[in-house]
Amino acid sequence: MATGKVRYWAAAKEAAGMAEEPFDAVTLGELMAKITQNRAELARVVKRCSFLVDGSPVGKRSHDEVVLADGVVVEVLPPFAGG
């Protein structure tokens, strides 16, 4: 189980009600399930987001296949105006 920090940007930050929070999860898929549990608006926003794991884009990889290392920072990036 990795521990780290998830950072929210723009609409994700608004939906989460905070800029960042600590987490413990093995994969990005597990992390997404944990942070959206009982947070319907965040779940809606996250579906359109892209993710960076320690600065590296996740791209189209399955979130269940993205293994998180201890101390990792995951950034949740909603689509921004202008691309």
User: What CATH code is carried by the domain that includes residue 42?
Assistant: 3.10.20.30
* Domain-embedded: residue 19: yes
* Domain-embedded: residue 45: yes
* Domain-embedded: residue 52: yes
Task: Find the mean pLDDT for residues 47-59.
Answer: 96
Cα 3–chain centre separation:
13
Task: Find the mean pLDDT for residues 13-36.
Answer: 97
* Domain-embedded: residue 83: no
Residue 34 structural domain: 2-62+71-77
The beta strand positions in the chain, using DSSP E, are: 2-8, 20-25, 50-53, 56-57, 72-77
Domain tally for the chain?
A: 1
**pLDDT for residue 1 is more than 90:** no
Task: Find the mean pLDDT for residues 66-71.
Answer: 97
* Domain-embedded: residue 16: yes
pTM, whole model, 2 decimals?
0.92
**pLDDT for residue 83 is more than 60:** no
- The C-alpha angle 75, 81, 83, rounded to 5 degrees, equals 75
* Domain-embedded: residue 41: yes
**Residue whose pair of structure tokens reads 């269940």 in the numeric block:** 64
The proportion of the chain whose per-residue pLDDT surpasses 70, expressed as a percent, equals: 96
* Domain-embedded: residue 32: yes
Residues 51, 73: Cα–Cα separation, whole Å: 10
Quick one: pLDDT at residue 46? 95
* Domain-embedded: residue 42: yes
Q: Contact at 8 Å (CB) between 3 and 71?
A: yes
**pLDDT for residue 74 is more than 90:** yes
